[in-house]
Amino acid sequence: MKCTASQIEKISVDTVYEVTGAKGIHLKFYDMDQFFLKEAKELRRYLSPGLMRRKVLLHMASRVLNYGGYLLVDGLEKEMAKDKAVTLLRLFSNPEVNLKGTCLFATTLDSVLIDEMERNDGIYLLHQDAGIQVSNLAELITRNDLKKRDVYRSGILPGTVLLQKRYFDLIQHFLNQKKEEANL
């Protein structure tokens, strides 16, 4: 728990509350009395969505790294600080931690995270163009001296658009919308 929330001393699931004999969750913060929660949804009052997501992801990562296999994560950066997402990526790329060749399959909308991947052949871009297309980054760019996020943002890869162009298109959309409203 110290990796995800240093203020939490302990969380115990399916423990028995001594007073009532009911099963639930014991939550203990440092320098505070222990809480007993009857249902997991009560944790929302005490823990942020990002913390709960990190806790679940780290638990799942720990299991899959110990036994081997695959971990699928949709929206790696969702409800999580970028440094926490980077930490998770690095766990899987560390050969001392990932002894069984476990694979992390993750989607992200944050192009900065792809710079954390050492090899281009481990990155696949998905885009929709008359169906879903999958492209391996190693087949699209051959230079390793470029920042992957800069290449992605440049608009030269299939399914990507120059970031600046998106911004100007959005501005133009709003300007056109205002003109239409003024003409009514």
pLDDT tens digit string along 51-60?
778 878 888 9
Quote the pLDDT of residue 70. 92
* Amino acid at site 183: N
* Mean pLDDT value of segment 143-158: 74
Output the 3-class SS for the chain: CCCCCCCEEEEEEEEECCCCCCEEEEEEECCCCCEEECCHHHHHHCCCHHHHHHHHHHHHHHHHHHHCCEEEECCCCCCCCHHHHHHHHHHHHCCCCCCCCCEEEECCCCHHHHHHCCCHHHCEEEEECCCEEEEEHHHHCCCCCCCHHHHHHHCCCCCCCCHHHHHHHHHHHHHHHHHHHHHC
- The stretch 161-183 carries a mean pLDDT of 78
In the prediction, which pLDDT does 106 show? Answer: 85
pLDDT value, residue 67 = 94
pLDDT at 98 over 70: yes
Q: What pLDDT is recorded for position 4?
A: 52
Contacting residues for 4 by C-beta, under 8 A, at least 6 apart: 51, 54, 55, 58
pLDDT band at residue 63, thresholds of 50, 70 and 90? Answer: very high
* Per-residue tokens: 121: 């052949």
Region 103-122: mean pLDDT is: 81
pLDDT-based confidence at residue 170 (cuts at 50, 70, 90): confident
